[in-house]
Amino acid sequence: MSHFHAVVWLDHSEAHVMHIAPDDVEKSVVHPAKPHQHLHSKSGVPGSGKAAEDKQYYHAVVEALKGAQEILVVGPAQAKLQLIKHMHAHDQAVADKVVGVETIDHPTDGQLVAYARKYFAAKDKMLGTA
């Protein structure tokens, strides 16, 4: 039985979802409905200085990941952690399939697939499931 892996690289402006089979890659790109705003907090102004979670964006990313048995979540900043938090709150079945969360910058799609294949191979070898 072969595993069907998926990797998602995301930041607040887009998510690249790759479903990876041994001889094929299926790619999709998810964009938020509204552009991400960078907020700066000012002294004496109420509020946290943080943008509200874009639930529609994270829901669309989760939908793009459905069907994968093992998921690797990567990205440069906080969006990957917000996605994990969203999964735990709204779709535990998908959250249970996340096998790793890694910080990586802005790879090309080819670099992302190579990184994911290497990650999953090392995980399988470590767990003795290769």
Comparing 128 with 68, which gets the higher pLDDT?
68
pTM above 0.85, yes or no: no
Residue 41 in any domain: the answer is no
Least confident stretch, 49-58, 81-90, 107-116: 49-58
pLDDT, mean of residues 19-34: 91
Nearest 5°: phi and psi at 129? -105, 10
Owning domain of residue 116: 5-31+50-127
Computed from CA positions of residues 82, 61, 98, 103, in that sequence, does the dihedral angle turn out positive or negative? Answer: negative
Residue 92 in any domain: the answer is yes
Residue 112 in any domain: the answer is yes
**Residue 24 is encoded by which pair of tokens?**
């094929």
pLDDT surpassing 90 at residue 51 = no
Residue 23: CATH number of its domain:
3.30.420.60
Q: Over the chain, what is the mean pLDDT?
A: 86
Q: Give me the pLDDT at residue 39, please.
A: 45
Least confident stretch, 9-18, 30-39, 60-69, 115-124: 30-39
pLDDT band of residue 44 (cuts 50, 70, 90) is low
Residue 43 in any domain: the answer is no
Number of domains in the chain: 1
Nearest 5°: phi and psi at 70? -135, 135
pLDDT band of residue 20 (cuts 50, 70, 90) is very high
Residue 38 in any domain: the answer is no
Residue 42 in any domain: the answer is no
Which residues fall within 8 angstroms of residue 81, CB to CB, at 6 or more apart?
Answer: 101
Residue 75 in any domain: the answer is yes
Which residues fall within 8 angstroms of residue 106, CB to CB, at 6 or more apart?
Answer: 76
